[in-house]
Structure 1
Amino acid sequence: MIDQKVILIGTVLAVALVVVFGMLIPLVGGVIALIVAGVVVGYLVNQNIKIGAVHGALIGLFTGIIYILIIYAISGFSEKIVGGLIIYSLGSIPVYILIGLGGGILGSVMKTRQQAVDAILEDSEETSSSKDNDE
Structure 2
Amino acid sequence: MVEIKWGTVRRGLVLSLILWLILREVAGDIGGIIGFIIATIFVGYKADEGYKNGAIHGALVGMVGGIIGGLIILVLYLIGLGDIAKQLWPVTGVIEAIIAIILYAIVGAIGGTIGSAINK
TM-score range, shorter chain: 0.7 to 0.9
CA distance in 2, matches of 1:85, 1:19: 24
| Larger Rg belongs to | 1
Partner of 1:4: 6
Q: Which has the higher contact order (CA 8 A, sep 6+)?
A: 2
1:107 aligns with 2:115: yes
Gaps spanning 5+ residues in structure 1: where?
113-135
Aligned length: 111
Indicate if the aligned counterparts of 1:59 and 1:100 stay in contact, CA closer than 8 A. Answer: yes
Pair 1:42–1:29, CA change in 2 (3 A): same
CA distance in 2, matches of 1:15, 1:111: 23
Gaps spanning 5+ residues in structure 2: where?
86-90
Q: How does 1:19-98 map to 2 (within 5 A)?
A: 19-75=21-77, 77-78=79-80, 84-98=92-106
Structure 1 SS opposite 2:115: helix
Structure 1 SS opposite 2:92: helix
State the TM-score, normalizing by the size of structure 1.
0.71
CA distance in 1, matches of 2:26, 2:71: 21
The percent identity for this pair of structures is 32
State the TM-score, normalizing by the size of structure 2.
0.78
